[in-house]
Chains A and B, each alone.
Chain A
Amino acid sequence: MQSIKSAKPKQTSTSCLAPAFRWAAYAMLLFASLASAQNTPIISGALGFLDSKNTGINFFQPVAAPVVVAPLGKHLLAESRFDLRGFYEPKNGTSGPYQGSFIGSTQYLQLDYLASDKMTFTAGRYLTPFGTYNERLTAIWIQKFQDAPLIFPIGTRTTGSSDGAMVRGVLVAKPLFHIDYIGYFSVSSSVAQFQAARAAGDRVDIYFPTKRLEIGTSYARFLQGTQNNSTGVHLWWQPYRFPLDVRSEYAHGPHAAGYWVEAGYRLSQLGGPYSLFGRLEPVFRMQQVFRNSPGPGDGLPAANTQQADFGLDYHFPHEVRLNTSYSRKFSATGNGNIWDVSLTYRFLFPMWRGHQ
């Protein structure tokens, strides 16, 4: 259950949720109304149905994850992503009728100021930019595996989102390499939908576009309660010659360290990416977590854990994707099997007709 729980957004009551969404909707509509016709605001995101059987416990999650993006003039951009999901599991653990609850979270609700070609300031609630998984792969229409990596909580505590300010951009952009940077500071918040920890951190990437190779480092300083540091390294490689995706991260936190390596190979060489077999993508992920001291409530496995994930994804037409996977977990607290199936539909529409 550990890996699933780490990926789940924090549960909040629906009564707390409504005002947050209402204010968010008002803000987005205000921004949208000021956008120019060429940059029509969009509503994007995905609908999904997730099924998981984790060490004998089966549960379902219908999910809606809308994204709203609205430009405001030449230099401002308002964007947000919400995650609304039901969580249904057997009343008695492994048997009995299913009972459900509603979980909603605001993953980001931010205003970006495009100060120059190489610098953007962000204020509001944003995804904590530690490592690559949280910012790039948590969207349900992007992720190749339904479950987040085991080390996901390192550097992203407490909710994966931060409330505060961020500066990000491109430091150097040459044809052969780019150097990107991100720096951020977050305040502590216990407001429903906007829970965050007081923290600060940075990420620096070097990207070689001709090789599609990226190496980067992350740092986060947790500034509330017992202060501590988290560090991380990531490496991505996606060669042009064949459709292989290799993504990996290593992270070290105050009580544990670990890594994950994921490889996906879309079989697009078999008749093209839109052929019957070209839509298939076998994926594999290996991950390990090494506990060096107890860290209650840190979201990580309680003992040393290693897990192998085998997936088979199918990219249907019209932005529909089927992800299936089997995972085998080995841990001192108990071994287990995890079976996941998810169906997602990604959408992208202009918010209104606008002008061509």
Chain B
Amino acid sequence: MKKKHSTWKHLPLPLIVFSLGSWLTWAQAVKPAPKNAAPSEKSATTVANPGERAFKANCARCHTPPEQLSPRITGTVLRHMRVRALLSPQDERDILKFLNP
């Protein structure tokens, strides 16, 4: 019983550290983005490219984008994603243009 009590006692510590870290980064995140920010660092709501917006709204919800994507396989990847992520027809077209401009 004593061991169980001590475990509970220490459990909140990582939670507090995690919460504090998240709060600090969130506090930075809510600051307005600089005007010269790279497109990839802007929020999707301010992204002008509909393909990039669609990519963030669909593919990036589960995984990070691949670092390199050969133009030869964008059609295959997109068809795979259409089935997996239930892409809408418009999103599919926009993402294809974005990946293979």
Contact = CB atoms under 8 A, between A and B. Distances in A.
Interface of A: 35, 37-42, 69-71, 77, 79, 112, 114, 117-118, 120, 122, 135-137, 139, 141-142, 168-170, 173, 178, 180, 182, 205, 209-210, 212, 236, 238, 240-244, 263, 265, 267-270, 272-273, 282, 284, 308, 310, 315, 317-319, 326, 328, 335, 346, 348, 350, 353-356
A348 B66 contact: yes
Interface of B: 4, 7, 11, 14-15, 18, 21-22, 25-26, 28-30, 38, 40-41, 43-45, 54, 56-58, 61-64, 66-73, 75-77, 79-80, 82-84, 86-91
A47 B77 CA distance: 19
Contacts of B64: 315
Contacts, number: 141
Given A40-B72, A117-B89, A310 B18 contact: yes
Contacts of B77: 42, 69, 348
Contacts of A355: 72
B88 A173 contact: yes
A287 to B, nearest CB: 14
B84 to A, nearest CB: 7
A241 B29 CA distance: 7
B94 to A, nearest CB: 11
A173 B90 contact: yes
Given A310-B18, A328-B7, A39 B75 contact: yes
A42 B88 contact: no
